[in-house]
Structure 1
Amino acid sequence: MNRKLDFLKQVAHGLAAQFGSSCEVVIHDLTKKDLDKSIVYIENGQVSNRHTGDGPSGIVLETLSSDPEKIHDKLAYLTRTDDGRILKSSTLYIRDENGKIVYIFSINYDITALLAAETSIRGLINTESESESEEKPSDQPQKITHNVNELLDMLIDQAIAKVGKPVALMTKDDKVTVVQYLNNAGAFLITKSGDKVSSLLGISKFTLYSYMDKG
């Protein structure tokens, strides 16, 4: 019996019951060999349209590719779903007795309706001077993905956007930047990701590995 996982499931169920159907709680099992099915428990999966057996989020890959001692809980940040709903998310890293991260416990609360209400109220109470000086939020919510292929595509898009030019116009340094971004994000933990990135950038696997080492 896995007492730690059973306890996390109990807490997840309690949180979902307390905060209602807008609160999704997800448990990723990092001890599983099959990364494509890291979700072992989910409450209110309709929030992100995910189910038990679905694949990891970007935060899971980032965790697996990072030094556990440098990883800290991420609280109250924004994510978004496929259909554009905004979630307020928190990610907690659950460790074993040796300090190794074995589970990721995620809370995603759908605040879309609350943001819409806030915008309506602000429009009624703001003065003209306040409207002119108001800064736009800089937060760019990260998209929640359902499987590793979708996640890899998203990370590749982010890497290309970071360079700011299409692959056909990239220099060697640009391609190094893309590869290092993907490596730091844990993209190469995904099966056959190296083949896809090499083909996209028009480089050999040997060149890909050399670009990874430059980081």
Structure 2
Amino acid sequence: MLSEIPVEFLDRLTQALAKQFGTDCEVLIHDLTVKDKDHTVKCIENGHVTHRKVGDGPSEVVLNALHNPQVEDEAGYCTVTEDGRLLRSSTIYIRNKSGQIEGILSINYDLSKLQVAQNILEGWMGGTSHKPLVPQKITTRVEDLLEELIERSIQIVGKPITMMNKEDKMRAIQYLEESGAFLITKSGDKVAECFGISKYTLYHYMDKTKT
């Protein structure tokens, strides 16, 4: 379906949505039909919000869609940029007639100015308490995303790699497999190097975790 939509229309769509919400709102479309999954950003407006541009790589949301085709649209969830700014994000999956995901429409609104205004108002009103948010991080390079997923897998195991046994490493690699990390180009080399194993051992662990 996405391949049937003219790029000119996709550009106009992203431009219109961005103008509707202003310069603090980034609107972009990921093309998941491209052969090189390291370069999925097809159209983008207000890319300064996450410092991305056309031709940049996928986010964690994209990897999740590639790995879990049954994923559903999500609106109004929180993410965070690499420099720590909080965003309000929405993700809409573009499917073909067979239900396969061919693209993603992503909207990310920078809440920085609203947070400043909120803090000022709370100061005047004596302060209020809020439940802390745990937002997803938006990366600008697939290399950074892979490193973050590896770090998260280590945190899940709860041990430094030097102290991990075979089962610990398999658990970490299972998380990476389920999160779509191995869809990133040459990710196997990086993961094998980080965990101090050969690529043969890595693929063996991946097969074991699947069964």
User: What residue in structure 2 maps to residue 3 of structure 1?
Assistant: 5
The percent of aligned pairs where both chains have the same amino acid is: 50
Partners of 2:99 and 2:164 in 1: CA distance: 41
Deviation at 1:117, TM superposition (A): 1.9
SS at match of 1:117: helix
SS at match of 1:102: strand
Tell me: CA distance 1:143–1:95, structure 2 relative to 1, closer, same or farther (3 Å).
same
Partners of 1:182 and 1:7 in 2: CA distance: 36
Number of equivalences: 207
Aligned-partner residue type, residue 179 of structure 1: I
Deviation at 1:119, TM superposition (A): 2.5
Alpha-carbon displacement from aligned partner over 1:70-119 (angstroms, at most 9, x marks no partner): 21001111111122111101110000111111111000000012122212
Deviation at 1:10, TM superposition (A): 2.7
Asked if 1 retains the 8 angstrom alpha-carbon contact of 2:192 and 2:202, the reply is: yes
Tell me: CA distance 1:113–1:32, structure 2 relative to 1, closer, same or farther (3 Å).
same
User: What residue in structure 1 maps to residue 118 of structure 2?
Assistant: 118
Aligned residue runs from structure 1 range 124-139, under 5 A? 124-126=124-126, 134=129, 136-137=131-132, 139=133
Alpha-carbon displacement from aligned partner over 1:163-195 (angstroms, at most 9, x marks no partner): 222111112222112101110111101121111
User: What residue in structure 2 maps to residue 204 of structure 1?
Assistant: 198
Partners of 1:76 and 1:191 in 2: CA distance: 30
User: What residue in structure 2 maps to residue 97 of structure 1?
Assistant: 97
Tell me: CA distance 1:5–1:101, structure 2 relative to 1, closer, same or farther (3 Å).
farther
Aligned residue runs from structure 1 range 42-57, under 5 A? 42-57=44-59
Partners of 1:5 and 1:126 in 2: CA distance: 51
Normalising by the residue count of structure 2, what TM-score does the alignment of the two structures yield? 0.90
Asked if 1 retains the 8 angstrom alpha-carbon contact of 2:31 and 2:103, the reply is: yes
Unaligned runs of 5+ in 1: none
User: What residue in structure 2 maps to residue 160 of structure 1?
Assistant: 154
Partners of 1:135 and 1:11 in 2: CA distance: 35
Q: Could you tell which deviates more after superposition, 6-15 or 147-156?
A: 6-15
Normalising by the residue count of structure 1, what TM-score does the alignment of the two structures yield? 0.89
SS at match of 1:37: coil
Asked if 1 retains the 8 angstrom alpha-carbon contact of 2:10 and 2:43, the reply is: no
Partners of 1:25 and 1:160 in 2: CA distance: 33
Tell me: CA distance 1:172–1:126, structure 2 relative to 1, closer, same or farther (3 Å).
farther
Partners of 1:108 and 1:206 in 2: CA distance: 40
Partners of 2:120 and 2:135 in 1: CA distance: 21
Partners of 1:90 and 1:140 in 2: CA distance: 16
